[in-house]
A and B are shown apart, each in its own frame.
Chain A
Amino acid sequence: MIKLQNVCKSYFLGDTEVKAVCDINLEIKDKEFIGILGSSGSGKSTLMYLIGLLEHPTSGKIFLDGNDVSKLTDSELSKIRNKTVGFVFQSFNLINKYTVFENVLLPTKYAREILDFNVRERVEELLKKFGIWDRRDFFPNKISGGQQQRVAIVRALMMKPKIIMADEPTGNLDSKTGDEILNILESLNKDFGVTVILVTHEKEVAARTKREIYIRDGKIVKKYL
């Protein structure tokens, strides 16, 4: 489903080129539950954003369902992100001035095609499923971290994506709540067939996934040290 071929991404800090990730060759199959494990600064987030089509690679190619997406325009990439990828972040990244309901609605505002579902019904169904329907009119800063992360998951699921990318989803949560979130991600993969890519620096978290990738100094390594 997703294939990275010799992918490099570098930044310029002033005049010096910093390679965030390089020579990445990776294939993620449909309906996989995969963990990307790396310490902070290892380049694991950059890798996730590349897979999530938020960034163009400096070199190399990225294929999505067999199509080269590494040279697509901003508007084409945005369309794919909107339809195919859902993001879940460490700091939840909800828009604080919008209610839970409005936050969850956000991806549908950027849909490029007529949706095959009723937006309000879907919001209701998902919020009920994750037990936060009674929080729909709350602003994000008035609900708990676990609840916020569930809202973020609902937002990621709104457009029926094939891929969920979770960047340290448990990083801001206590272990019990974090566990619940991991259970949800697991069930998304198991029960709904969504490809889940989990990025983390915690071995125990990565251990919940079915396949682990280790990344160090911008490269995929065989063993996590």
Chain B
Amino acid sequence: MKIQNGYLDLFKAAMADFKRSKIRTFLTSLGIMIGVLSVVLLIALGLGLKNYLAQQFESLGANLIIIFPGNISSSEEGGGLGNFGAGFAGGANFDEKDYTNLTRIQEADYVVPLFMKSSVIESEGERKLGYLMGSSEDSFKILNLEILEGEFFTKGDVLGRAKKAVLGESLATNLYEAPQDAVGKTIRVSDQRFKVMGVYKKKGDREQDNAAVVPYRTTFGTLNPDETFFTIYLGTRDEGDIEVVKEKAKEILLKRYETDDFTVTEQSELLSTINQIFNIVNGVLIAIGSISLLVGGIGIMNIMYATVTERTKEVGIRRAVGATERDILSQFLAEAVLLSVFGGLLGLILASFIVLGVRQFFPASINLLAVLISLFVSSGIGIFFGVFPARRAAKLPPIEAIRYE
């Protein structure tokens, strides 16, 4: 024998009603579905991008100091994130003289300049989009690259402007099928030809894996007419030297540039800046996505009010046979919550499929948190937007309800 109104009974009653009006149920849930879909997708894409960038920086070696044009420093002169764009837009143009000056810092074990641009790389009739990186022999050490086939170029190659290149595994595979076949072949970038000396292993970093690394001096001329660098890396063996190296690097650069023209930062600092930016961006994206959740919730409320009116007589009958106000409230609330959770689940499933599809070219990922949040939020919306119509149903005077036609 049963005690009144178990949750199972409520669930069954609600499902029976949904079955009778499938289209309406589906359309009502659709609003929540779209809301959950957009929020989960935005979280997935935002987190994916953030993790991707973080991973890229982590794949650089430890004890790494990075110097680049523009100023993103948040501690100095309150510029903060506001100046971040400058890092990409303008600031100092580092040249070989800066590089040479920086090599004079005793505590710095490596100093590596980096010039980079995306280029079409041709070989044996194949044309692939990749990246041309001009750097020094130490770049292989500082970027933790491992040789797969052949060898890296040397200091002599840099000084002698040798026309030699070392390819990333992905680029080599794209050009020659088997990366081992690349060694000894010739690649062409713009009007320059380079002999492939070696191939390094994949790191999971799209740019690095698709790069042709050549001695930086060789790029001077047609490939890098301004003879500038995008970034200069400094590496120390001893973690304790990082601060000293940073200070000295700043001192050196200040002789030629203004404070705002460049940034000297280290891997961990840069990482936290990126995290900061992405937390804001993600917050804004989620807020925008939440608007559709809100609209979906209002849709549920609307339908629930209509349902209450439509079922006024049923409410009266139930009251006559002994239903309390509370019983009626639970019944309608259960329906609203189920509608909402149903929509939420649909949205989640759809979002998972989209993420799976997008994953091949974008690092999106769904985590447990997104799943829990979407289920919590959708049931919360069901309760919030369901409670007003449900209260109206519960408060209907039984006699008027039963006479309602």
Asked if A pairs with B, the answer is yes
Number of A-B contacts (CB under 8 A): 76
Q: Which residues of B contact A112 (CB under 8 A)?
A: 3-4
B67 CB to closest chain A CB, in angstroms?
A: 73
For the complex, give the distance between the alpha carbons of A110 and B328 in Å.
11
Q: Are B318 and A106 in contact (CB under 8 A)?
A: yes
A87 CB-CB contact with B under 8 Å: yes
Q: Are A109 and B4 in contact (CB under 8 A)?
A: yes
| A48-85 interface with B by 8 A CB criterion | 49, 52, 54-55, 74-75, 78-79, 81-83
Q: Which residues of A contact B398 (CB under 8 A)?
A: 49, 54-55
Choose from B2, B5, B313, B320 the contact partner of A87 (Cβ within 8 Å).
B320
Choose from B316, B322, B397 the contact partner of A110 (Cβ within 8 Å).
B322
Choose from B1, B4, B20, B402 the contact partner of A97 (Cβ within 8 Å).
B20
Q: Are A82 and B321 in contact (CB under 8 A)?
A: yes
Q: Are A93 and B313 in contact (CB under 8 A)?
A: yes
Given contacts A54-B398, A112-B4, contact A95 B324 (CB under 8 A): no
Choose from A94, A109, A110, A114 the contact partner of B1 (Cβ within 8 Å).
A114
Q: Which residues of A contact B16 (CB under 8 A)?
A: 97-98
Q: Which residues of B contact A97 (CB under 8 A)?
A: 16-17, 20
Q: Which residues of B contact A114 (CB under 8 A)?
A: 1, 3
Q: Are A87 and B4 in contact (CB under 8 A)?
A: no
Given contacts A109-B4, A109-B5, A119-B1, contact A82 B399 (CB under 8 A): no
B98 CB-CB contact with A under 8 Å: no
B235 CB to closest chain A CB, in angstroms?
A: 74
Q: Are A115 and B314 in contact (CB under 8 A)?
A: no
Residue of B nearest to A52 (CB): B320
For the complex, give the distance between the alpha carbons of A216 and B172 in Å.
102
A207 CB-CB contact with B under 8 Å: no
Residue of A nearest to B321 (CB): A107
Interface residues of B (CB under 8 A from A): 1-5, 9, 16-17, 20, 313-314, 316-327, 397-399, 402
**Sample of 30 A–B contacts (CB below 8 Å):** A46-B399, A54-B319, A55-B398, A75-B324, A75-B325, A78-B319, A78-B322, A79-B322, A81-B321, A82-B322, A95-B314, A95-B317, A97-B16, A97-B17, A97-B20, A98-B16, A106-B317, A106-B318, A106-B321, A109-B9, A110-B318, A110-B321, A112-B3, A112-B4, A113-B3, A114-B1, A114-B3, A115-B1, A118-B1, A159-B322
* 4 nearest A-B residue pairs (beta carbon): A82-B322, A110-B322, A78-B324, A107-B321
